[in-house]
Structure 1
C-alpha cells in the first residue's frame, strides 16, 4: 500500500468516527487509482462510486441502508458544482477533502471546519488565496457572496469578537486588502479608524462623485451614515436576505443519532427521484 493511500485511509477513519456519510469529489480523478486500496482497508465503510447516474447512487443508499445505520463514502469524479442531482444526499453528509490538497494554515482549517457554510460559488477554494479570502469572510459574516458593505457593518457591530477571529486565522491582511480594493480605505481592523475613514470628511471626492472612472466602488450613503454613527440598521434589499439567498444555509443536516429512525428523511424524497433525472 502506498503512502498516499495510507494517508487517505487514516484521514477517512478519523472522519467516520465523527460522521457516517462523506462525499468525495474528485473532478480531475487524481485519486481514482487508490480507491481499491481505500475500499479494501475500510471494511466498515461502503464505498459507492458514481458511474454516470446519481439516481442509481441514491437508490442504492435507500435500498441497502434505509435507516442510515452504515458508513457511506460516495466517490464523485466531478466537481461539486457539476453534481447538482446529488445535493440532497450531500446535504445529509459532509464533504471529504484530501489533506494534502489543503495548505496547513489557520484559514484553511477554519474553512474545513465550516465546509457546509461555504457558499456554492466558493466551494472549490482549495489553494486559491483569493477564493479563500472570499470564502472566509462569507462564512464569518454569514453572506452569500462578497457583500463588503454587510461585512463592514457586521464587523463594527461587534469589532472585538470579529477582530479576534480574523487575527486568529491570520486574515488581518486579507481584511485590509478587501477594504482597500473595494473602497480605498486603509484602516485595517481599528474600528475607530474605520469609522473615520468612512466619514464624508475623510472620503476622497473621486470616490463620492457619481460616474467616476476610478475602479473603487462609490460608498453607499446609507452605509457611510450607519458606519459613522454606529448604527446597525440593515441596508435595504431589493430581494432575498443573505441567509435566504444562500443555498448552503437551507441545507441543514440532521443530528446523527444511530438509534433514531432517520431513514424516513430519505424515504420522503425517494418518490421524487425517479422523475428528477440522473
Structure 2
C-alpha cells in the first residue's frame, strides 16, 4: 500500500483551484518525465542502446522505419498515447529496481491510471490502496496459490488483459489453498467437491466468520466458495468473461485464500 501523500498545490488547499484529477494516457505534462526516464535507462549496464531498442520496438509494434529512438518516441507520444504506454510497458523489462522505483514515483505524482508492477516489471492498473494491499499480502506467501493469484491479477489489470484466464487462475488459487485442507487425498480436486465435503461433514470444521439467521459460520464459508464455483462453471471454456466478472471473482479469491491461511476456516482440533 502506498504510504505517502501527493503534493497538493497551495491554490488547491486554499480552494482557489479545483484539485487535479487522475492522469490517463501520455499527456504533454507527463511525457518530458518519461522521456528523461528513457534516457536514464540507456545508461544502465547491459542495455544494448537506443539503436537496438529502436529495432525491437519497431518490429514488436509493426512501426515504420524511424531514424532515431528520439524520432520514434516523440512521434508516438504526440500521435498515439496508448501505443506510447505499450512501448513503456515493453521497455520496463530492461529496468532495474531503482529505475522502476523512479518510474513509479513519476506515475504516482500525477495519479496515473497505471502503476509499476515490480514483480513482473510491467504496467498494472492502479486500484484502491486497500484492495491492492490485500492482494500484495495474499501473494507475499511463496506457494502455488500465490502464483495463480499473480497470474489472475495480471490477466485482469495489465495491458494484456484476458478475463477468461483471470477467472481460471483465480479459481485455481482457491483450489490450491483449499484442497490440501478439505480433500487432501483427492487427485482431481475441484471447488464443487470441496463444497460437498464441507456440507457432508459440517462437524469436521470450524469457522470464525459471522453467522447469519440462515447460515452458520461453516455454511458461510461454503457459500463463499460457491460464488467462485458458480462463476467458474458459467464461464468455463472461454465464454468471454467480462472485466466486472473477472474483478469480482479475483477479489473473492484473494479473500478466500487469506481466510484459509489465517485459519478463519479450519478443521476441528487442527
TM-score by length of 1: 0.32
TM-score by length of 2: 0.32
Q: Which has the higher contact order (CA 8 A, sep 6+)?
A: 1
